Amino acid sequence: MIYSFQKYSNITSFLNPGEVSDVNKEFSIPMASECKGIKSNSQSEINFTPKCFKCNFCAFGELEEDYKRFINFPIDDSNYFNGELVDLPSASKLNNPTCSLETFTEKNERSRIQKWEMGILKNILGENYKISEEIMAPSNDDDRAGRIDIGVYNKNDEIILLETKTTLNDTLNDERFVAQFEKYHNSINASNFDGEYLLCLSIGGYEQELLPPGLSETADVGNKRARLYNLLNNKSKRIPMISANAIWCLSTMYINNNIDDIAKKLIQIFKDESNIALLSCGVIRFDKDNEKYEILPLYKIKVWI
């Protein structure tokens, strides 16, 4: 499955509604040997193998019908965003260390989680106007320009921008993303863009490690979850976060025709500064009155209905 994105010189160019790049670049996960879930035979026919962990990257375009047959479409999505983390599909573990989305996204950020999320979001966030990666975001107070990992701009003028990380450990490695987000917002403001957008962090790896402290004690990561949420739930500037697993759930619901207007709904959810993250269990909300985190199923959120 091969998709394409456009290259833009910087975030101002990307956000300019009158500027559309004619520089297209192709990208693929299976064809880049990052996945063992498909193979071609001597007649150049594509077949899915037992090593496919059903990540949905191939659910669109020329492989759509083959993929839907392989996953026994439709998939039951009744428990998604409903209060508990969702168990995602997995593939055969025999000689196959990359047997799930969580093991796939936990390394090789640019060739795996970044490309996977770009391919998924390209297809589920509405008709594309622009999609790009590694978008330069110059900063007036820093000689080193930042790069926004993924940008999706649909024809409803809804913009989703993501900074991807492979795991919780990767995110906390140097905590540089906090300063990066401030620079990204400053760069967007300097571009004279006055529309609505969502700039968020997206983390792969084991989703259980991304639950805030107090909601689960089964992920043995010390104080790292508390560190993460202290950084996300910053009093001066909250940083929204979406897990890779949550994006997979959204894509499955989209394939099932059980959801629409995803970009608009994500933007509306995170307009509420109390909403810190979206995991497969629902929205992680900070209850300011009781100073604790809670899981809010999506059906309880008005903008999602």
Q: What is the pLDDT of residue 93?
A: 84
Q: Judge whether residue 139 has pLDDT over 90.
A: no
In this predicted model, which residue has the larger pLDDT, 126 or 45? 126
Buried b (16+ CB within 10 A) or exposed e, 82-99: beebbebbebeeeebebb
Q: What is the pLDDT of residue 135?
A: 95
Q: What is the pLDDT of residue 144?
A: 66
Overall domain count for the chain: 1
Among 31-45, 140-154, 262-276, the range scoring the smallest mean pLDDT is: 31-45
Cα four-point dihedral sign 145, 148, 151, 156: negative
Q: Judge whether residue 260 has pLDDT over 80.
A: yes
In the block, residue with structure tokens 């995991």 = 279
**156: amino acid identity, one letter:** N
Highest mean pLDDT among 35-39, 58-62, 153-157, 245-249 belongs to: 245-249
The pTM (predicted TM-score) of the whole model is 0.94
pLDDT in tens, 142-157: 566 689 999 999 988 8
Q: Judge whether residue 160 has pLDDT over 90.
A: yes
Cα separation, 103 vs 106, whole angstroms: 5
Q: In the chain, how long is the greatest CA-to-CA distance?
A: 64
In the block, residue with structure tokens 């976060």 = 241
Q: What share of the chain is helix, strand, coil (3-state, %, to 5)?
A: 30, 25, 45
What separation in angstroms does the CA of 187 have from each of 21, 60, 190, 229, 241?
20, 33, 5, 25, 20
Buried b (16+ CB within 10 A) or exposed e, 15-33: bbeeeeeeeeeebbbbeee
Q: What is the pLDDT of residue 192?
A: 84
In the block, residue with structure tokens 């196959």 = 96
What separation in angstroms does the CA of 202 have from each of 35, 61, 191?
21, 25, 24
Q: Name the residue among 189, 164, 191, 161 with its Cα closest to residue 177.
A: 164
Strands 241-243, 197-203: pairing is: parallel
Q: Which residues pair with 64 in a beta bridge?
A: none
Residue 249 lies in domain: 3-304
CB 30 within 8 A of CB 14: no
